[in-house]
Amino acid sequence: ETILTQSPVTLSLSPGERASLACRASQSVGNSLAWYQQRPGQAPRLLIYDASNRATGIPDRFSGSGSGTDFILTITSLEADDFAVYYCQQRDSWPLTFGPGTRVDIK
């Protein structure tokens, strides 16, 4: 099973600041990694797939990078709606797995 580790656990930032969230895989997943955002009380939504492709309707302040075992989700200039929990997920091998999440909260 591919274990995904996310860091930091919590990121406290102010609106307008830049956020960098990390996801590390226990073995290479190539570029088979996605990022999801989950706001309180809501279902997750897909932000980034195949490591760096933005999903339809996702603002360009969200970007993904990395390959193999190390990945980054960057949010430039945080807006109020961006304070949420972010999960990475791999589809390279069974079982499909998610990271434990990074909470981005308002400083």
- Binding residues for other proteins (CB under 8 A): 32, 34, 36, 38, 43-46, 49-50, 55-56, 87, 89, 91, 94-101
* Sign of the alpha-carbon dihedral angle for 15, 86, 43, 92: positive
Q: Smallest distance from the beta carbon of 98 to other proteins, in angstroms?
A: 4
Q: Smallest distance from the beta carbon of 15 to other proteins, in angstroms?
A: 25
Q: Smallest distance from the beta carbon of 2 to other proteins, in angstroms?
A: 12
Q: Pick the closer one to other proteins by CB: 17 or 46.
A: 46
* C-alpha to C-alpha distance for 92 and 89, rounded to whole angstroms: 9
Q: Is the peptide bond before 59 cis (omega within 30 degrees of 0)?
A: no
* C-alpha to C-alpha distance for 98 and 36, rounded to whole angstroms: 10
